[in-house]
Amino acid sequence: MKPLNKKRIAKVFGAYVLSMFLGGVAVNAALGTNVFNVPFVANASDMDKFADKLQCLMESRVKAINIEHSDITGLKSITRKRRNKSEETVNTNPNASFASYKHQPLPPVPVEYQGVLNDEKRAEIRAKITGVAKQYLGRPYVYAAKGPNAFDCSGYTSYILRQFGIMISPGSRYQATQGRHVDLASAKVGDLLYFSAYGKGGVITHVGLIIDNAADGITVIHANGPRHGIMIENVTKSSYWRNKILFARDVISGDSKAALAER
């Protein structure tokens, strides 16, 4: 809220006096009274009183809408409320990272497989997928880009899997309903790892392709925003990503009927 300096008070007070004067003109004209016989003198005391009233009015309006002076847009308050709601969900439901998301009303989008997907083929995909994914290291991140010259996060994962005849949605929220849910400890190379910028229990905002799951954490290759593009990162050790990890999905090990049944 801007401070009330003398110049600003004078402008507002001047407008106030003018409105009072014009109102008086209208009333007296209606009554047939000579307007200029009605004295109106504004002294310093009047201005001080008016400034006090104006200050109280402005402060009461700010308090009424319940936002911080440093957050006049209200965006900080909205984000804080969302995070608090997410934390409450997790505290009351230890499985909220997956359970709260799977009940969101998204239409099912089945995985499509080109060709025969037997055990030998699945093992071959997991053995080769990291090498194929690394071919695009350093490519730029562009929102909604699906490759091959630029990608967003879900555009990248869908593009890599498509090279192996696995057709999944290009959107991360839909991808998160496809395939089979797997525990983080059991996630394998080629599985997809999902994140939420709002923390545990939040909606999906990011996805990466797992290329290693070892004692020191889960490593993914992902389209990590405009600053980094396609890069490899141990997200378990990342101060930014580790608290945003939600769950993993396996779209290589079978059809999507299991995923639809889970919902």
Which residues belong to the active site? Answer: 153, 206, 222
Those residues with Cβ within 8 angstroms of residue 260's Cβ, 6 or more apart along the chain or in another chain: 108, 110
The residue type of 192 is L
Closest CA to 97 of 184, 175, 180, 172: 184
CA dihedral 73, 76, 77, 79 (to 10 degrees): 120
Q: How many CB atoms lie within 10 A of CB 120?
A: 9
Question: By 3-state DSSP, what share of the chain in percent is helix, strand and coil, each rounded to 5?
Answer: 45, 15, 35
As a whole number of angstroms, the distance between CA 230 and CA 222 comes to 5
